[in-house]
C-alpha cells in the first residue's frame, strides 16, 4: 500500500482565490514520504490555505493536488489523513476522552487508540476534564491527539506547538520524528523559525508564494547563514533584488 | 452513510447535553410549565382542551428548532464541522445523529407534558394517545431538520436566534389556530397550504376531537414527515466538504 518511490504529496500550479483575492499564486512542489516537512512563513502567507487544499477541504481555483497517489479530497483519503487545524477543533462541552472516543468511532480507529494518543500528547492527567476547562495549550494538544487517531499515512498539523512550554514542544517534536521514522509523512506549519531546524525539509512561504524548498542544511548553505531567521530575510532580499 | 457513525454522533450529542444540566432541564420542563400556566390562565376545561394540543404541537418544534440551529452553528464556527468533513463521516450521519439525539429529547419533553396534562390537568383526549405522540415527535423532527437547514444561513448566534420568529410566527398565524384556514384570504390560504405546521395542527385537532382517524389524519402525518425529510435533505445539501 505504501509506494515509497512516489511523493506523498505532489502539488502542481495550485491557485486559490479567497474572498476575491488570489492567496496562492500557482504553487508547485513535492513532499517526500516518511519525513517531517516544515511549512514556514509569517502569519497570512497562505500556510493554512495550502494545508486545507492538501486535506481537501479548500475550494481551489486551479492546479492539481495529489495526495498519496490520489486527488486531494478523494473519499478513500479521509481515513488516511490526520488533520489538526490552528484553532483547536474539539468539543468544549466534552471531556478529552469523550472527544477522542467520538472521533475514534468516526474514523473507525481501535478503542485502544484513545489511551495511546492521550499518552502521546501528555494529557493523561486532564483526560477526564471538559475541553472548556483546559488551557489553550492543552486544548491544542487535545486537537492534535485527534489527528493521531487511527494510523494515518499523512499527518497535517497547523501550528501544533503554539503556546507550549519548551519542554512540551521538544516532546512533541520527538513524537513527530518517531512517527516519521515509522514511515508517516508529516507536514507541520509554524511561524517560529527555531522549529525549522527540527524538520528534514522546509518549504518557506511568503505572500502566497514559495521562497524556498530545501533541507535546513541546504537552506543555510544557500543563504550563507547559520540562522534560519536570517536565512528567511536573505531569501526575501534575493526576491526583491531579482 | 454508516449506522455506526450515525449512532456514535447521536451518542456524542447526548453526552454533550449530559454535561449541560440547565439546557436539559429547560428542554424537559418548559413546555410542561407553559401548559400548566395556560391551564390556570384559561380556567375553562373546554378551551384548555382546544389549546393544550396546539402547545404540544408547537413546543417540540420550537425547542428543537432553536437547539439544533445553535448546536450546528457552534459546530460550524468551532471548526469541528470542518474536521468532521475531512473524515469518513457522511453528511446524513451528522444530520441523523442530531435528529436521533434531539428526537429522544423530544420524546422526554412530550412524555412529561402529556403525563402532566392527562393526569393533573385532566386534559381530555378523545383519540388514541399514540397518534398524538406521533404528531408531536414528527414536529420535533421537523424542527430539528429546519433548524439544521436554517443554521446554514446564519453567520452568528444572533442571526440564528432571529430565524426562529421568521420560521415560527407565520406558520402559527397561518396554521389555523387563530383563524380557521378556510376563512383566510385566498392567497393566505394557499400559503397556509404549503406550510407543514398547518398539517401538524390539523392532525392534532383530529386526534383531540377523536372519532375515526381516517385518511385525512394519515395525509397530515405524511405531509409533516415528508417535510421533515425534505428539510433534512436540504440541510445535507448545505453541508460542504470543501469551503472557500
Query: pLDDT tens digits for A132-162?
Result: 999 988 999 999 999 999 989 999 999 998 8
Q: What is the mean pLDDT of chain A?
A: 91
Is residue A47 within 8 Å of A54, Cβ to Cβ? no
**Does the pLDDT at position A2 exceed 60?**
no
A139 CA to chain B: closest CA distance, Å?
Answer: 12
Of B16, B80, B241, the CB nearest to A73: B241
Residue A163 counted as domain residue? no
Query: pLDDT tens digits for B77-86?
Result: 888 999 999 9
Query: pLDDT tens digits for B73-115?
Result: 889 888 899 999 999 999 889 988 988 898 888 888 888 988 9
Under an 8 A CB cutoff, do B5 and A59 touch? Answer: no
Under an 8 A CB cutoff, do B88 and A58 touch? Answer: no
β-partners of residue A212 are A204
Chain A residues within 8 A of B87 when measuring between CB atoms: 78-79, 103, 106-107
Cα–Cα distance for residue pair A82/A105, rounded to 1 Å? 14
- The residues, ordered by sequence, that sit 6+ positions from B142 with a Cβ below 8 Å of its Cβ are B61, B196, B200, B224, B227, B228, B231
Of A83, A102, A130, the CB nearest to B12: A102
pLDDT score for A182: 93
Query: pLDDT tens digits for B155-213?
Result: 888 888 888 888 888 888 888 888 888 888 899 999 988 899 889 888 888 887 776 67
The label of the residue with cell 394540543 reads B53
Q: What is the mean pLDDT of chain B?
A: 87
Residue A176 counted as domain residue? no
Q: How confident is the model at residue B41 (pLDDT cuts 50, 70, 90)?
A: very high
Residue A127 counted as domain residue? yes
Output the CA angle B61-B65-B71, nearest 5 degrees: 145
Is residue B234 within 8 Å of B149, Cβ to Cβ? yes
- Interchain CB contact of A233 with B (< 8 Å): no
User: What is the pLDDT averaged over residues A36-50?
Assistant: 92
Residue A57 counted as domain residue? no
Cα–Cα distance for residue pair A98/B16, rounded to 1 Å? 9
β-partners of residue A201 are A37
Under an 8 A CB cutoff, do B83 and A146 touch? Answer: yes
- Interchain CB contact of A85 with B (< 8 Å): yes
Closest A-chain CA to B83: A89
Of A96-100, A221-225, B194-198, the range with the highest mean pLDDT is A96-100
- Interchain CB contact of A46 with B (< 8 Å): no
B185 CA to chain A: closest CA distance, Å?
Answer: 45
A2 CA to chain B: closest CA distance, Å?
Answer: 20
Closest A-chain CA to B78: A89
| B14 closest CA partner among A134, A88, A101 | A101
Query: Which three cell numbers, joined as nine digits, stand for B55?
Result: 402547545
How many helices (DSSP H) and strands (DSSP E) are in chain B? 10, 0
Residue A76 counted as domain residue? no
Cα–Cα distance for residue pair A151/A140, rounded to 1 Å? 20
pLDDT score for A4: 59
The contact set of B with A (CB < 8 A) is 4-5, 8-9, 11-12, 15-16, 19-20, 78-80, 82-89, 241-244
Under an 8 A CB cutoff, do B78 and A130 touch? Answer: no
Residue A110 counted as domain residue? yes
**Does the pLDDT at position A202 exceed 90?**
yes
pLDDT score for A3: 56
pLDDT score for B211: 63
Cα–Cα distance for residue pair B45/B68, rounded to 1 Å? 34
User: What is the pLDDT averaged over residues B148-154?
Assistant: 85
pLDDT score for B43: 86
Q: How many domains does chain A have?
A: 1
H/E element, A13: strand A9-18
Under an 8 A CB cutoff, do B79 and A85 touch? Answer: yes
Domain range spanning residue A144? 81-151
Amino acid at each position: 500500500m505504501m509506494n515509497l518511490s512516489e511523493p506523498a504529496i505532489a502539488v502542481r500550479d495550485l491557485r486559490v482565490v479567497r474572498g476575491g483575492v488570489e492567496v496562492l499564486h500557482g504553487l508547485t512542489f513535492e513532499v517526500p514520504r516518511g519525513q517531517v516537512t516544515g511549512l514556514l512563513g509569517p502569519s497570512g502567507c497562505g500556510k493554512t490555505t495550502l494545508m486545507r487544499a492538501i486535506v481537501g477541504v479548500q475550494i481551489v481555483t486551479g492546479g492539481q493536488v495529489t495526495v498519496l497517489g490520489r486527488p486531494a479530497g478523494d473519499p478513500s483519503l479521509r481515513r488516511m489523513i490526520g488533520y489538526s487545524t490552528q484553532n483547536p477543533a474539539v468539543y468544549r462541552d466534552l471531556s478529552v476522552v469523550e472527544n477522542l472516543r467520538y472521533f475514534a468511532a468516526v474514523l473507525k480507529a481501535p478503542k485502544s487508540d484513545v489511551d495511546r494518543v492521550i499518552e502521546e500528547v501528555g494529557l493523561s492527567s486532564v483526560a477526564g476534564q471538559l475541553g472548556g476547562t483546559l488551557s489553550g495549550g492543552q486544548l491544542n494538544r487535545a486537537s492534535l491527539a485527534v489527528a493521531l487517531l487511527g494510523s494515518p499515512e499523512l499527518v497535517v498539523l497547523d501550528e501544533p506547538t503554539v503556546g507550549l512550554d519548551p519542554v512540551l514542544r521538544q516532546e512533541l517534536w520527538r513524537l513527530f520524528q518517531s512517527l516519521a521514522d515509522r514511515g508517516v509523512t508529516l507536514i507541520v506549519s509554524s511561524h517560529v523559525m527555531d522549529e525549522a531546524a527540527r524538520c528534514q525539509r522546509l518549504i518557506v512561504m511568503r505572500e502566497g508564494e514559495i521562497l524556498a524548498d530545501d533541507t535546513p542544511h541546504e537552506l543555510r548553505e544557500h543563504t550563507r547563514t547559520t540562522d534560519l531567521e536570517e536565512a528567511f530575510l536573505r531569501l526575501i532580499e534575493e526576491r526583491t533584488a531579482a | 452513510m454508516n449506522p455506526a457513525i450515525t449512532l456514535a454522533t447521536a451518542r456524542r450529542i447526548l453526552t454533550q447535553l449530559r454535561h449541560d444540566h440547565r439546557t436539559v432541564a429547560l428542554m424537559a420542563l418548559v413546555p410542561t410549565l407553559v401548559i400548566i400556566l395556560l391551564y390556570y390562565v384559561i380556567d375553562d376545561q373546554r378551551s384548555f382542551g382546544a389549546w393544550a394540543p396546539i402547545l404540544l404541537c408547537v413546543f417540540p418544534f420550537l425547542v428543537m428548532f432553536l437547539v439544533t440551529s445553535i448546536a450546528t452553528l457552534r459546530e460550524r464556527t468551532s471548526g469541528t464541522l470542518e474536521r468532521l468533513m475531512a473524515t469518513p463521516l457522511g453528511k446524513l450521519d451528522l444530520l441523523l445523529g442530531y435528529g436521533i439525539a434531539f428526537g429522544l429529547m423530544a420524546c422526554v419533553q412530550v412524555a412529561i407534558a402529556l403525563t402532566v396534562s392527562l393526569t393533573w390537568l385532566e386534559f381530555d383526549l378523545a383519540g388514541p394517545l399514540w397518534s398524538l405522540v406521533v404528531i408531536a415527535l414528527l414536529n420535533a423532527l421537523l424542527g430539528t431538520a429546519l433548524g439544521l437547514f436554517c443554521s446554514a444561513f446564519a453567520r452568528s448566534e444572533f442571526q440564528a436566534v432571529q430565524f426562529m420568529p421568521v420560521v415560527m410566527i407565520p406558520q402559527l398565524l397561518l396554521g389555523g389556530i387563530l383563524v380557521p384556514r378556510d376563512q383566510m384570504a385566498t392567497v393566505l390560504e394557499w400559503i397556509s397550504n404549503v406550510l407543514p405546521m398547518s398539517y401538524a395542527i390539523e392532525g392534532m385537532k383530529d386526534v383531540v376531537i377523536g372519532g375515526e382517524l381516517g385518511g385525512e389524519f394519515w395525509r397530515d402525518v405524511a405531509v409533516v414527515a415528508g417535510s421533515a425529510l425534505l428539510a433534512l435533505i436540504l440541510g445535507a445539501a448545505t453541508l460542504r466538504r470543501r469551503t472557500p
